Amino acid sequence: MMKYTRVIRGKYYDSVTLMLAAKELQNMSEVDDASLSMTTDANLRILEAADYDISTIAPNPSDLVIAIDCTDIDPEKVFDKAIEILEKPRVHSAEEETEYTPRSLDGALSVFADANLALISIAGQYAGDVARDCLERGLNVMLYSDNVPLETEIELKQMASNKDLIVMGPDCGTAIIKGIGIGFANACPVGPVGIVAAAGTGLQEVHVQLAKLEIGVLHGLGTGGRDVRESVGGISFLSAMQALIDDEETQCLVLVGKPPSENVLEAIIKNATSCSKPVVTAFLGAAYDEDDEKNRVYYAGTLEEAAAIAAAVVKGEDVAAAKKSLKKIDHDLKNLCETKANRSGFLRGLFSGGTLAYEAQQILSDKLGVIRSNAPLDSRYKLNNSLKPEGNCIIDYGEDEFTQGRLHPMMDLAFRRERLVEQLEDKNVGVILIDVVLGYGAHPDPATEIVDAVEKARVEDYPLMIAYVCGTDQDPQNAQEQTRILEQAGFVVCRSNAQAASLAGEFASRSDR
Amino acid sequence: MKKLLKEGPKTVNIGLRGFYDALKQQESSAIHVEWRPPIVKTDLLKRLRKLRKGREQ
């Protein structure tokens, strides 16, 4: 196998086009691997780790780098093929042929004048300007794009606030409005709970756990993780919270996120204690008071617990009993793990959901001490190289460093799949922990992609493999079917992210360290 | 925002087409924009925007 790269200057292609082109190249018999990505620092580091020579390539996010690993073919032919694939016009489906697809915002509004929301998922460097145009035209904005500068976020949110609009994001992957999932979202019942989340997969996990308890959600408003920091001041979080307090159909609020800054948290709790509706907060890792039952404010330590409390509140059941029921250990699952724990060694978590990765670190650090990560709870434990896990470690492959000019790992599992092969083959690894996030917008069959990695790994004794499937049976992928695929390949599949992390911690704590 | 919660989403999707397809799957009202980056550089666009703002004021 020989590895080659070529840089194409000043060409923009969206992440889907790049992924499809890479897949088409990989289908060539002479090509072992192919990758097309924008020439960012992070993407160059990824190529370097895969033994590509990048010494002559200067980082420039406006350039495209094509990397190929091939034999018995002139690499120039493969590069030319790549360009040909990128340049060929996209084949439209019959449905697309008959529908009008405008090329500009104004074109869209000329035929869709009553639009009230813009969902923006273009490269971060352009997203701010497009969001500003949308706000100027009176649209609320959901900004899926990441890599948007902080000052742009503040400017956009202030602008929205002055117009009684909201900016959800940047880096907001999930919202639910009147029961409709926007971005990455699960198919769940509609009901009396409203969620405000500065955490995308946190919102999904609470949504899914509530569905398991047969409680629905009407609105789930995302804000992006930075919103609750001091610099942004919770502009979107506080206005979303107020909108749900004022909303006649919402009976109970659940607030989700990493711990907000002191001032933002104070403002949130002040609103919660003074409003007429029960409020459940799940700010993972925040210092908790006792539940303030007089004011109907409840504090949850995990996302699963937040859902259990909210369900109990809505059903008029005992909150303390709901919390207690979660503490029970599932002995059947633990016994199953005992039979599959073949190797002692470190725990490696390979996540696609940022909040799920964060929650897992919290649970695991209580059990195992230091957990290293590319997005650690404590900056002292940040990995030097996100591509080289050390010790007990959780990697979030949805972090900005991995998503510049590359699809999110919930949509394209190729990158995480290769990392999983490496970890399965690493003899120092005793436990693998993964999330599999389902729903609208996500990959149509993530479990099969994960199982491909298990089959590809060259190992005799597999480490203990624990998974959590964040989804419902009504999701397009069907959670039950995805669970079956994973279990058949040897995974132990848990009912929640918290349970999966907790169980993984039980076995990794026995690792030689 | 209150109007958005009351009416439900009527979405202009700018970017990944998969998100538009997901909205249509849920029978939600949406339109997809085939977005391309501006041909002129963004700093020039910013200057034009400032000029436009100045004129409006």
- Strands of the sheet containing A464-470, edge to edge, are A372-373, A393-396, A346-351, A429-437, A464-470, A492-494
**Torsion of the alpha carbons at A424, A425, A431 and A435, rounded to the nearest 10:** -20
Together in a domain, A353 and A499: yes
Together in a domain, A221 and A343: no
Question: Looking at residue B38, what is its pLDDT?
Answer: 77
**Would A157 be classed as within a structural domain?**
no
**Would A407 be classed as within a structural domain?**
yes
Largest CA distance in chain B: 44
Query: Which of A101, A182, A249 should be substituted to probe chain B, the one whose Cβ sees the most B Cβ atoms within 10 Å?
Result: A182
Together in a domain, A350 and A491: yes
**Would A144 be classed as within a structural domain?**
no
Put simply, the answer to whether A139 touches B12 (Cβ < 8 Å) is yes
d(CA A483, CA A445): 11
Summarize chain A as % helix, strand, coil (round to 5): 40, 20, 40
Together in a domain, A314 and A346: no
| Residue finishing a domain among A301, A327, A353 | A327
| Residue finishing a domain among A327, A356, A371 | A327
**Would A173 be classed as within a structural domain?**
no
Question: Looking at residue A96, what is its pLDDT?
Answer: 66
Mean pLDDT by 10 residues, chain B (57 residues): 94 93 95 83 67 65
**Would A110 be classed as within a structural domain?**
no
**Would A159 be classed as within a structural domain?**
no
Put simply, the answer to whether B4 touches A116 (Cβ < 8 Å) is yes
Together in a domain, A421 and A444: yes
**Would A164 be classed as within a structural domain?**
no
Question: Looking at residue A511, what is its pLDDT?
Answer: 42
Together in a domain, A467 and A335: yes
Together in a domain, A358 and A484: yes
Question: Looking at residue A147, what is its pLDDT?
Answer: 84
How many Å lie between the alpha carbon of A197 and the closest alpha carbon of chain B? Answer: 16
Question: Looking at residue A510, what is its pLDDT?
Answer: 43
Task: Output the tens digit of pLDDT for each of chain A's 513 residues.
Answer: 689 999 988 877 777 788 888 888 988 889 988 888 888 888 888 888 888 999 999 888 778 899 999 988 899 999 999 988 888 766 666 666 677 888 899 999 999 999 999 999 998 889 999 999 999 999 999 999 988 999 999 999 999 999 999 999 999 999 999 999 999 999 999 999 999 999 989 999 999 999 999 999 999 999 999 999 999 999 999 999 999 999 999 999 999 999 999 999 999 999 999 999 999 999 998 777 777 777 899 999 999 999 999 999 999 999 999 999 887 778 889 899 989 888 889 999 999 999 999 999 999 998 899 999 999 999 999 999 898 998 999 999 999 888 877 789 999 998 999 999 999 999 999 999 999 999 999 999 999 999 999 999 999 889 999 999 999 999 999 999 999 999 999 999 999 999 999 999 999 854 434
Give the number of other CB atoms < 10 A from CB of residue A22: 24
Here the CATH number for the domain that contains residue A64 is 3.30.70
Q: Examine residue A170 and say whether the peptide bond preceding it is cis (omega within 30 degrees of 0).
A: yes
Kind and range of the H or E run holding A7: strand A2-8
Together in a domain, A493 and A372: yes
Taking only residues 1 to 57 of chain B, the set having a beta carbon closer than 8 angstroms to any beta carbon of chain A reads: 1-5, 7-19, 22-23, 25-26, 28-29, 31-38, 42, 45-46, 49
Together in a domain, A299 and A389: no
Token pair 């086009």 in the structure block, residue: A17
CA A253 from chain center: how many Å? 22
- Domain range enclosing A34: 2-87
Partner-chain residue, chosen from A104, A130, A183, that has the shortest CB–CB distance to B19: A183
A375 touches A399 (CB < 8 A): yes
Burial class of A336 by CB neighbour count within 10 A (0 to 12, 13 to 18, 19+): middle
Together in a domain, A311 and A384: no
Handedness of CA A465, A471, A472, A475 (dihedral sign): negative
**Would A288 be classed as within a structural domain?**
yes
In three-state secondary structure terms, A72 is coil
Q: What are phi and psi of A443, to 5 degrees?
A: -55, 140
d(CA A450, CA A315): 38
Together in a domain, A300 and A345: no
Number of domains in chain A: 3
| Residue finishing a domain among A87, A121, A149 | A87
Put simply, the answer to whether A126 touches B38 (Cβ < 8 Å) is yes
